[in-house]
Amino acid sequence: MPTDQVIFITLLAYLAGFGVLIIGRKNLSIQLGNVLSISINTLGLLLSFWLISRFRETEIFQYKWVKLGQHEFNFTLLINKLSLLMLALVQGIALLVQVFSLKYMKGDPRYLNYFSYLNLFVFSMLGLVVSGNLLFIFFFWELVGFCSYLLIGFWFEKQSATNASLKAFIVNRIGDAGFLIGIGLVFFLFNTLDLELLSNSQSTAAPGVLTLTALMLFMGCVGKSAQFPLQIWLPDAMEGPTPVSALIHAATMVAAGIFLLARIDFLITPDAGLIIALIGAVTALLAAYSAIFQFDIKKVLAYSTVSQLGLMVMGMGVGAANASLFHLFTHAFFKAGLFLIAGAIIHYAHHEQDMRKMGGLLYKKPWLAFSYIICGAALAGLPFTSGFLSKDALILSAFNWSAEQANPMTILIPLMGIIASVMTAFYVTRQFVLIFLSSSKEKIKWSKPDLMEWVIFPLVICSFWLLHSNNPLDFVTSNFSTHFEIKHQENHWVAYSLLAAAILSIGYSYYRFQILKKDLPQNIWSNLGLNHYYLDHFYVKRVACALVGKFQPNPLDNVNTEEHISSGLTDLVQTIDQKAVDGLVNKIGTGQKNFAKGLTQFDRKGVDGFVGLLTSTIIFLGNVGSYIDSKLVDGLIGWISRLVSNIGEGLRKVQSGRLQSYLMVLILIFVALLIFLAIF
Amino acid sequence: MTEYLLSLLIFLPLLAGVIVLLLPKNLEPYSKHLAIVVSTFTLIISLYVFKSFDPALAGYQFLEEKPWINLDLGNFGIFSIKYILGVDGISLPMVLLAGIVLLAGAISSTSIKRRPKAFYAFFLLLSSSIYGCFISLDFFLFFLFFEFMLLPMYFLIGIWGGDRREYAAMKFIIYTLVGSVFILVVMLAMGLSVNAPAIDGRTVFTFDFRLLGNASNYISGSVLDQSSSISWLRWPVRTILFILLLIGFGIKLPIVPFHTWLPDAHVEAPTSISVVLAGILLKVGGYGFIRIGMGFFPQEAIDFAPWIAGLGVLSIIYGAFNAIAQDDLKKLIAYSSVSHMGFVFLGFAAFNSEGINGGIYQMFSHGILSSMLFLVVGVIYDRTHNRLIHNYRGLAGKMPLYTGAVIIAFFGSLGLPGISGFIGEFFSLLGGFSSPYLSKWFPSIAVLGIILSAVYLLWALQRMFFGKFWVNRDLKDQMDDLTLRESILLYSLGFLAILFGVWPALLFDVTNNGVDVFLKTIGL
């Protein structure tokens, strides 16, 4: 079977899954829905393995979509190693998440809605990874954002959940607006949006314009992959069901930004690369710092995701695309694993997410603890895990890149990455201590591992080095590197120093939280971290309020209605619109009317207002020739003014019940006009 | 039979209007059935025309041409006004849209209880003149229909409207009449400047669209001769007349700052009339502007491209800002119309294939989506007679079907790919970016519109539909989910929006050639 057919079967299966589940959300039995959803996913996964096994060379398929003028906008399938890798990765994680959700979402009143949204998400995400032109990447890019919106706000009765989904969508839109400008500039410069054609074409445009274009496209990544300064939506997105966080907001959708950069890496100029790397490194550092101070089990992981995405973006900026993709790949497994562990704990703890109220789970849930140790170690970048390989590749690439740069300040970029990685080791340990070691506060009972815990098992396996490399300490000989070449890097001492620092930081963290039982201090630095530098506060309280005005809960109501207490820019515009623009119109209108009243006093007698108007209109139209000769301006004013007052008059009469006759007259005149003029 | 199809589009509703008016009292309830049947028929006709239109052929198809008025002006010449109908790739989508929107309007009118006979007579009269506007190929005929749309609309708002209906109706008619006067001036000037082939050696002045577009038909030395140097206040007359057209059609579109009639008219109009108003009436402005403004004044239009685009961008941003500030859902949607129609001007001003096709697509898609949006408002208004956003909360839990339709309409309107709104906006913007006549700033600022539209639509969605269910206790608590009629109406429109969102070639195949021909005629 040709590759494109396989891809279409996969895509259509998910779309059909979405359709059937959403239409049958009330009538379909839950078991049937489960079977349907899981089997579609399994089928898709098997097909993607099959595609990988028979992969020979990059294939491109074009389907006519739209042709405008000389430009064709086709739907392009681009099937290369990267697409296939993502195809398998997305569906693999999705399958585990779906199985996990069987138990996690059990009893939810909108259970099948949930699975239908998941199907739609996988459809959109797969569409994104196989698209071979920017138009369709954007197409599916927005669709995954839409699914994310639906799933973050899945429990829409919760105010915080709907706030989070709104914020996620709007913040993403800001990024997408930039992305759209980037697409427009690409089309302007190269006259095509097809990636294959783009990669072969040379532009004569000034390097500044190319850099701007690349940065605009990067804006999309800033939104979707939660990079500074738009990272604020991702921690809030944790309001969604935890399996969703694992799938969408850790493993796949947020990585779409990285994927996009990998697709367009030939468009990234060195200057743009520098800025991209800088933003990535800054994000990594800021988010890692914030992760240290969080108490919510999911928020730690959310900030950690932002931080890891920052590292990947940094890698993309320094031109180490394959190292970034490697990290994307390994990160997907261990971070999905960590989220599912968190989900399981939240489930057992009856939706308690505060880590201070947890503890002592090591003996009650030893399997979860073991999984956490492996996945956490991978996140912290310890040897014998997948994270070690990919993180080393990233940091070393960044370091060696900066060594080649003329500007010595570029060393700051890998340095920030290194500090972020050391902090990662610190907060992972803190989280482990708080959840699993510190004295028990939760009444969670020991039980045999159930479905949810077994599902984590494959992710734990994938977090070991074995899947990725025979040699646990060398990324150059990794399996990944044989397909996506990662160059050998000098200066291995950097990696070893990083490892040493990470181990020290783990030791310190363990000592502080487990032995000394000393929590973090409450001061401005911790508050800064906890509230993520008040960035969110700034956006919501300052920017948003400047735009739409302030709202506060209405104290008189027992429901959550909000009262508008101060106005913002939009209210100002609205006032201008009503008072100035419309006010002017009304002013003119009233003036005209008064003027007209005076004028029409003369010919009021004997002329029924409305019929008079129509007659004069006909005369007016009939005497077109002579009209030109007569003074245009006078005629115009008289006409308008008569009209104004006559219509007012007419309307009053209509109100008094003579409507039918007017209507008849109207139609008769219309018909008469047609006939009369025809004969004439 | 097929040669009179287009005439049928005009005369069928007109005839039905007369019949409705003549219905005896006891048959009055059947007027709505008649209106729906006739609207269905006209939709079928327009679908047939759409299907059998051959996009490969240049020029107008389904032509009907009859001499109508020959005004003998003695030595001066002959004024020839013809009854010419025809469609091309630019008007055809509008004819189809008219079919769809008018049927939706007719069906949703069934909730009108007061004086149905008069209502449907006006409604059918309106339908007739709307079709007439899009298919007439004689400036005079076009203007006749253009004017005649106003009167039924005036009564439909003025009689069946809300509390301030008289004010709104008055404002609507004065505003649009001012616009009409501008267009009238241009029409007369054109009529006096364009020559048709002479009859018996005498000059024949014509309003034929096919002749108006050709520069060689202009009488040399006349006001509108392209090489004429006649000027007024140091402005060339052609430029002045173009500005008149820009304002005249701009009022209809509407374009900021001539938009203030729209929110009032919408808020006061009954649901079905809002549907027709936003769905199809506004498109007459866009259609007229491209056909007459850009078609007959190409050089001026190109010179003014930054202004046209600027007005478009201003409308996008200004309309969106206003929409954010609204608490009345209907007003919010009315302002969103202003914002979305701005993309039409932006696309047109690009003067390339992507932009103009995108602008036309945007008109079509806005027709479907805004019909849906106003129906959405109608649903809630029918139940509680209150449209203020802050009176509702958490409707999603209680009215899932309704919420589904709202999500399609809202997301379509904010430009989610897969729904038709995206195609129109995307290609308008793309045209803007690749146009040699426009600075990149225009589309770049217009892109902000897609952020703002997400803000006002999703914020309204969140406030009204999410959270715990609650309706202001003063309102009747009858928040039942959609009735069968409402579901069919909303979901069929939703289906169309999605169909045209994933398969834009349905429309682009028709418009593309029309636009190519259009660009060639104006010398691009």
Cα B262-B266-B272 angle, rounded to 5 deg = 135
> Which residues 99-118 on chain B approach chain A with CB closer than 8 angstroms?
115, 118
- Residues in chain B predicted with pLDDT less than 70, given as ranges, are 1-2, 199, 221, 226-231, 476-477
Going by the DSSP 8-state scheme, the letter that residue B208 receives in this structure is: B
Q: In what order do the strands lie in the sheet with B202-206?
A: B61-72, B78-87, B202-206, B195-199
A574 touches chain B (CB under 8 A): yes
Cβ distance A636 to B181 less than 8 Å, yes or no, reads: yes
Give the best residue of A557, A663, A671 to mutate against chain B (max B CB count within 10 A).
Answer: A663
Residue A374 C-alpha, separation from nearest chain B C-alpha, in angstroms = 39
Burial (CB < 10 A; 0-12, 13-18, 19+), residue A42, is: middle
Q: Is the bond preceding residue B257 a cis peptide, omega within 30 degrees?
A: yes
Dump the DSSP string for B490-523.
HHHHHHHHHHHHH-THHHHHHHHHHHHHHHHHTT
End-to-end CA distance of chain A: 72
Number of residues written out for chain B: 524
> Which residues 219-258 on chain A approach chain B with CB closer than 8 angstroms?
none
| CA–CA gap between residue A30 and residue A107 (Å, rounded) | 10
Residue B300 C-alpha, separation from nearest chain A C-alpha, in angstroms = 23
Give the best residue of B151, B164, B180, B423 to mutate against chain A (max A CB count within 10 A).
Answer: B151
Phi first, then psi, for residue B205 (nearest 5°) are: -90, 140
Cβ distance A69 to B353 less than 8 Å, yes or no, reads: yes
Burial (CB < 10 A; 0-12, 13-18, 19+), residue A109, is: exposed
Of A170, A181, A592, the CB nearest to B458: A170
> Which residues 37-76 on chain B approach chain A with CB closer than 8 angstroms?
68-69, 71, 73, 76
Cβ distance A559 to B468 less than 8 Å, yes or no, reads: yes
Dump the DSSP string for A18-51.
HHHHHHTTTTS-HHHHHHHHHHHHHHHHHHHHHH
> Which residues 145-174 on chain A approach chain B with CB closer than 8 angstroms?
146, 149, 153, 156-157, 159, 162-163, 165-166, 169-170, 173-174
> Which residues 96-135 on chain A approach chain B with CB closer than 8 angstroms?
135
Residue B2 C-alpha, separation from nearest chain A C-alpha, in angstroms = 22
Give chain A positions within 8 Å (CB) of B321: 569-570, 573-574
Say if residues B205 and B192 touch (Cβ distance below 8 Å): yes
Number of residues written out for chain A: 680
Cβ distance A548 to B450 less than 8 Å, yes or no, reads: no
Give chain A positions within 8 Å (CB) of B154: 647
Cβ distance A157 to B81 less than 8 Å, yes or no, reads: no
Dump the DSSP string for A534-583.
GHHHIIIIIIIHHHH-EEEE-TT-SS--EEEEE--HHHHHHHIIIIIIHH
Going by the DSSP 8-state scheme, the letter that residue B63 receives in this structure is: E
Say if residues B420 and B369 touch (Cβ distance below 8 Å): yes
Say if residues A401 and A318 touch (Cβ distance below 8 Å): yes
B146 touches chain A (CB under 8 A): no
B393 touches chain A (CB under 8 A): yes
> Which residues 591-630 on chain A approach chain B with CB closer than 8 angstroms?
592, 624-625, 627-628
Handedness of CA B302, B304, B306, B311 (dihedral sign): negative
Cβ distance B260 to A585 less than 8 Å, yes or no, reads: yes
| CA–CA gap between residue B495 and residue B408 (Å, rounded) | 9
Cβ distance B512 to A67 less than 8 Å, yes or no, reads: yes
Of B325, B417, B519, the CB nearest to A570: B325
| CA–CA gap between residue A336 and residue A459 (Å, rounded) | 7
Identity of the residue numbered B102: L
Residue in A155, A559, A551 with CA at minimum distance from that of residue B471: A559
Helices (H), ranges, A318-450 = 321-348, 361-364, 366-380, 386-404, 412-432
Residue with tokens 């920052």: A310
Give the best residue of A12, A27, A577, A587 to mutate against chain B (max B CB count within 10 A).
Answer: A577
Residue B416 C-alpha, separation from nearest chain A C-alpha, in angstroms = 7
A493 touches chain B (CB under 8 A): no
Q: What are the residues whose beta carbons fall under 8 Å from the beta carbon of B473, sequence distance 6 or more?
A: none
Identify each DSSP E strand in B16-93 by its residue range: 61-72, 78-87
Task: Give pLDDT tens digits for A322-366.
Answer: 999 999 999 999 999 999 999 998 888 888 888 888 877 888 888
Cβ distance A156 to B465 less than 8 Å, yes or no, reads: yes
Cβ distance B353 to A654 less than 8 Å, yes or no, reads: no
- Residues in chain A predicted with pLDDT less than 70, given as ranges, are 440-443, 553-563, 592-680
| CA–CA gap between residue A356 and residue A358 (Å, rounded) | 5
Burial (CB < 10 A; 0-12, 13-18, 19+), residue A674, is: middle
Q: What ipTM does this complex have?
A: 0.93
Q: What stretch of H or E contains B309?
A: helix B305-325
A138 touches chain B (CB under 8 A): yes
* Closest-approach residue (CA) in chain A for B257: A581
* Closest-approach residue (CA) in chain A for B463: A561
- Counting one residue from chain A and one from chain B, the pairs whose CB atoms sit within 8 A come to 221
Q: What pLDDT, on a 0 to 100 scale, did the predictor assign at position A636?
A: 54
| CA–CA gap between residue B17 and residue B124 (Å, rounded) | 5
Give chain A positions within 8 Å (CB) of B426: 135, 180
Residue in A248, A313, A257 with CA at minimum distance from that of residue A286: A313
Cβ distance A651 to B516 less than 8 Å, yes or no, reads: no
Cβ distance A166 to B154 less than 8 Å, yes or no, reads: no
Collapse the DSSP code of B232 into the 3-class scheme (helix H, G, I; strand E, B; otherwise coil) and give the result. strand
B223 touches chain A (CB under 8 A): no
Q: What pLDDT, on a 0 to 100 scale, did the predictor assign at position B366?
A: 95
B508 touches chain A (CB under 8 A): yes
Give chain B positions within 8 Å (CB) of A680: 69, 71
Cβ distance A628 to B125 less than 8 Å, yes or no, reads: no
B409 touches chain A (CB under 8 A): no
Cβ distance A581 to B125 less than 8 Å, yes or no, reads: no
